[in-house]
């Protein structure tokens, strides 16, 4: 059977769309197959940070990968804008994590020193309340201060998804939604993805189906362990701009809404919301910015992160079925540039580079051997 597509990407969330964008841009005819609206979709529920300062503190390969992506994010944003005219809302004014008391401040300083020991480019600044308040008018006089890093930024994740989809289609890519893949068969140098809408043949298959990746990966000889990690977000009415930089848990959008986030919960596949947790998030936000106490909440949601056993991304290729790849992560906004501009080249070469070896699954086997 001759493959109809050079590559099939399973999953049209941020990870699959960024990879498909890159593959199509490199000249490969690419098809996205996506389950559709009933699927779990982290992409539609995230906080929108392009964030470096808390990534890979205990694992330098992840810190470097995050940094590379953040450094090339402007190129991705420009490319999407050139192809589609869509502004994905990317801004890189720096970002901060606020520490409400001295204990948090000391702990953050320690973590950042650790990060800097293997990633010296992360030139963070620990600022006391007074210096932080100069950056953040309205900051409570009662907080201890926080950590500022000039390399952090944010974007509008829904515009990013729309921009990736539209650019992909403008370059000739095809998206087939409401087409959950229920089986994958490998025949010689071709893969067949089976869906209720029919069968699709591709020379490569890339599994980027979020929480659905694990099941599909088994069919092509890969073990991709993922589990859900629920996050809830609150959104206020639109306010006059007051936050000039995004914070790890509070972000003002270009339109003026303030997002307050975002919890980490083990709730299985439950995408419901929990008032005590939302309450805790709101109290902490008001502790940082007292004027938020007089603001109306207009929306709240929860979504499931795609979490690996150690929290770091997984990039894998099948040894049994060369041409089958998998990609999962819980920082699909931050890593979108690496996924769109770098990983497709490796997929085309047919081999993941040694720089990505620490993000393959054999790291779990090594951990078990040491246990």
Ligand X SMILES: Cc1cc2nc3c(=O)[nH]c(=O)nc-3n(C[C@H](O)[C@H](O)[C@H](O)COP(=O)(O)OP(=O)(O)OC[C@H]3O[C@@H](n4cnc5c(N)ncnc54)[C@H](O)[C@@H]3O)c2cc1C
Provide the 8-state DSSP code for 255: T
Name the residue nearer to ligand X (CB basis): 56 or 144.
56
Rounded Cα distance, 329 and 259, in Å: 22
Residue 333 Cβ, how far from ligand X at the closest point, in Å?
3
CB atoms within 10 A of CB 216: 24
Residue 210 Cβ, how far from ligand X at the closest point, in Å?
3
| CA 309 to chain centroid | 16
Q: Which SS3 state, helix, strand or coil, does residue 183 take? A: strand
Residue 128 Cβ, how far from ligand X at the closest point, in Å?
26
Name the residue nearer to ligand X (CB basis): 46 or 159.
46
The H or E element that residue 125 is part of is strand 125-128
Beta-carbon contacts of 361 under 8 Å, excluding residues fewer than 6 positions away, are 222, 223, 224, 225, 314, 316
Asked if 204 and 5 count as a contact pair (C-beta separation under 8 A), the reply is: no
Residue 21 Cβ, how far from ligand X at the closest point, in Å?
12
Residue 240 Cβ, how far from ligand X at the closest point, in Å?
23
Name the residue nearer to ligand X (CB basis): 102 or 183.
183
Which position has the token pair 């393959």?
Answer: 360
Rounded Cα distance, 28 and 346, in Å: 13
Name the residue nearer to ligand X (CB basis): 208 or 292.
208
Name the residue nearer to ligand X (CB basis): 144 or 307.
307
Residue 246 Cβ, how far from ligand X at the closest point, in Å?
9
Closest of 220, 218, 213 to residue 329, by C-alpha = 213
Q: Which residues pair with 190 in a beta bridge?
A: 187
311-to-60, 306, 328 alpha-carbon distances in Å? 13, 9, 10
Residue 114 Cβ, how far from ligand X at the closest point, in Å?
21
65-to-23, 60, 192 alpha-carbon distances in Å? 19, 8, 32
Name the residue nearer to ligand X (CB basis): 288 or 307.
307
190-to-4, 7, 216, 243, 321 alpha-carbon distances in Å? 9, 10, 16, 51, 10
Name the residue nearer to ligand X (CB basis): 21 or 144.
21
Q: Which SS3 state, helix, strand or coil, does residue 354 take? A: helix
Contacts with ligand X by CB under 6 A lie at: 10-16, 33-36, 39-43, 45-49, 51, 180-181, 208-210, 212, 216, 231, 233, 262, 303-306, 328-334
Residue 332 Cβ, how far from ligand X at the closest point, in Å?
3
User: Rg of the chain over CA atoms, in angstroms?
Assistant: 21
Name the residue nearer to ligand X (CB basis): 49 or 267.
49
Name the residue nearer to ligand X (CB basis): 45 or 146.
45
- How does strand 181-187 pair with strand 190-195? antiparallel
Name the residue nearer to ligand X (CB basis): 35 or 97.
35
Residue 157 Cβ, how far from ligand X at the closest point, in Å?
7
169-to-18, 39, 86, 160, 368 alpha-carbon distances in Å? 12, 22, 14, 14, 43
The H or E element that residue 31 is part of is strand 30-33
Residue 216 Cβ, how far from ligand X at the closest point, in Å?
6
């Amino acid at each position: 059977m001759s493959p109809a597509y050079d590559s099939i990407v399973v999953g049209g969330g941020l990870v699959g769309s960024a990879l498909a964008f890159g593959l199509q841009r490199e000249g490969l005819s690419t098809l996205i197959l996506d389950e559709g609206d009933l699927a779990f979709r982290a992409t539609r529920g995230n906080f929108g940070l392009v964030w470096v300062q808390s990534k890979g503190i205990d694992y330098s390969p992840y810190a470097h990968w995050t940094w590379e992506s953040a450094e090339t994010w402007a190129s991705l944003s420009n490319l999407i804008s050139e192809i589609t005219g869509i502004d994905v809302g990317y801004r890189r004014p720096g970002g901060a994590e606020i520490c409400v008391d001295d204990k948090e401040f000391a702990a953050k300083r320690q973590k950042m020193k650790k990060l800097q020991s293997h990633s010296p480019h992360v030139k963070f600044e620990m600022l006391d309340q007074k210096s932080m308040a100069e950056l953040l008018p309205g900051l409570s006089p009662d907080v201890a201060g926080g950590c500022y890093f000039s390399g952090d930024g944010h974007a509008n994740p829904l515009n990013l998804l729309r921009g990736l989809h539209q650019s992909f289609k403008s370059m000739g890519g095809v998206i087939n939604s409401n087409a959950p893949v229920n089986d994958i068969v490998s025949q010689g140098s071709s893969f067949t993805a089976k869906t209720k809408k029919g069968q699709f043949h591709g020379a490569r298959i890339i599994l980027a189906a979020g929480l659905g990746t694990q099941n599909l990966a088994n069919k092509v000889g890969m073990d991709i362990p993922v589990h859900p990690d629920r996050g809830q977000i609150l959104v206020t009415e639109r306010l006059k701009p007051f936050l000039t930089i995004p914070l790890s848990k509070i972000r003002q959008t270009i339109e003026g809404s303030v997002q307050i986030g975002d919890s980490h919960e083990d709730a299985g596949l439950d995408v419901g919301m929990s008032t005590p947790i939302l309450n805790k998030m709101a109290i902490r936000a008001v502790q940082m910015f007292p004027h938020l106490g007089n603001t109306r909440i207009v929306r709240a949601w929860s979504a499931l992160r795609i979490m690996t056993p150690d929290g770091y991304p997984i990039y894998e290729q099948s040894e049994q079925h060369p041409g089958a790849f998998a990609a999962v992560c819980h920082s699909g906004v931050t890593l979108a540039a690496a996924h769109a501009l770098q990983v497709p080249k490796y997929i085309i070469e047919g081999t993941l580079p040694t720089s990505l070896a620490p993000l393959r699954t054999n790291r779990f086997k090594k951990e078990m051997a040491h246990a």
